[in-house]
Amino acid sequence: MTPAYAALEARFRRLAALEGAGGILHWDRATMMPPGGAEARAEQLATLQVIAHEILTAPDTADLLARAAGEPGLDAWQQANMREMRRRWVHATAVPSRLVEALSKATSACEMTWREARKASDYACVKPQLQAVLDLVREAAAAKAAALGVTPYDALLDQFDPDQRAARIDAVFARLEAFLPGFVGRVIEKQAREEQPRVPAGPFPVKTQRKVGLALMRAAGFDFERGRLDVSAHPFCGGGPDDIRITTRYDEADFSRALMGVLHETGHALYELGLPRDWQTQPVGSARGMTLHESQSLLVEMQACRSPQFLAYAAPVLRAAFAPTAPADDPAWSADNLARLYTRVQRTLIRVDADEATYPLHVMLRYRLETAMLAGDLALSDLPGAWTEGMRKLVGVAPPDDAQGCLQDIHWYDGAFGYFPTYTLGAMAAAQLYDAAKRADARIEAAIAAGDFRPLLAWLRPNVHAKGSLLGTDALLERATGRPLDASIYLAHLERRYLGA
């Protein structure tokens, strides 16, 4: 290892430790921190972020990067690590420490207010803090855009999905918008003519829902020696290396919402737990970006766990947990009935509970609104009305209140502008990867029908997880599936699952 490169690895090892500590503090704030700790926690998180920013932007970092680039003998992983180090450095040096601190404090305060605003369905009470966040995000985006030579929105996209650009998203979303509304209508009409699913009778106690969730997490391959499950206002996967914290939220009237949320976050966690251990403290050992991250959560939740194979396994597990006195042949708990429930296409209000066919329409709405807000074309005072109108046009329903409208997601209130498109890009990648995995190993579906995810993980580990950030997203997909990100496989999957085409 050459001197300059070794110094950089040591520097990024310190950064990884700080980021891991921040991840645990964020998890604690979302799950169990008493409300009175909010101000102190905001200060703690801001301080950690400023320290990390100052380490990364130290005056000698540019010199170390330049010298390491000229040193011979770096292998492919080290060269990729250098590329990712430089990318992170460019992002960091574009933004002064005072802006990093201000943005951290503003998002902490806004997130805490958002929780109360969402409970009360009162957008007006959080709007001033959201405006403060938006102003700071615009400032950071402009600074990064100048450094990267891209538009401000592309600079934000690049934070979550390296090298992603709005022009590509626009093209993908235009194709989906030309297909999905008519497709959704056909599916709804088809399902209306078919046998209607029976909704299992509740209530479903939270304690039992948690027990079932833990059991299915184990079946999927989650390692409870290196992670845990908790409750938060908005489900997420966080924490740090070898300490993965995932959360869900429960509804005693509907067990499926928490269950599918748990499986979604388990997909994220499996990716984090499968990243290359030898590079755990280095940028190249991190997840490549949120398109791939969302592909792993959606591969588990949508591709595998809404499949007939998985539901054949899950049906008796769910019946035994929630209706232990029901006969084994109770039609409400049959695999066929659960399959009808879990593939029911409906025009609904909440993104995280949306079915696979309408979900991209929810994402398109958020993409349009956040690009308009960042550009100054949409005032925050007009956000609730724009949300309602957009939902009516894209999804076909309108929210009756703010809680089911523009307050339902945490992302903007936490400063995560530029994240939403990765959900739909991830859904496309999930279909592509699952298709490739099944073609590579014909045992995968039969194993999932027995509650065994090991063959699937045996394919995902070397082809996706263990690659870390060695490759770009398209390069990884091309190596794993034979082509870069391609909507065709996703659209074919939707037609096959919902229309039998």
* 341 Cα distance to chain centroid: 23
- Expressed in angstroms, the distance from the first to the final Cα of the chain is 55
* Cα–Cα distance for residue pair 421/498, rounded to 1 Å: 23
* Cα–Cα distance for residue pair 300/453, rounded to 1 Å: 10
Contacts of 166 (CB under 8 A, 6+ apart): 151, 153, 154, 157, 371
Q: Which two tokens stand for residue 403?
A: 């809680």
Question: 300 near 263, Cβ under 8 Å?
Answer: yes
* Cα–Cα distance for residue pair 464/479, rounded to 1 Å: 10
Q: Residue 150 phi/psi, 5° resolution?
A: -130, 180
Spell 317-349 as b/e; 16+ CB within 10 A means b. Answer: ebbebbbeeeeeeeebbbbebbbbbbbbbbbbb
Give the closest residue to 226 by CA, choosing from 236, 216, 237, 210.
Answer: 237
Give the closest residue to 279 by CA, choosing from 78, 3, 461.
Answer: 78
CB atoms within 10 A of CB 120: 15
* Cα–Cα distance for residue pair 298/431, rounded to 1 Å: 9
* Cα–Cα distance for residue pair 314/336, rounded to 1 Å: 11
Q: Cα Rg for the chain, rounded, in angstroms? A: 23
Catalytic residues: 265
Which residue shows structure tokens 């009756």?
400
What are the E-state strand segments in 50-105? none
Cα–Cα distance list, 207 to 215, 225, 246, 252, 258 (Å)? 13, 21, 17, 10, 12
Question: 388 near 398, Cβ under 8 Å?
Answer: yes
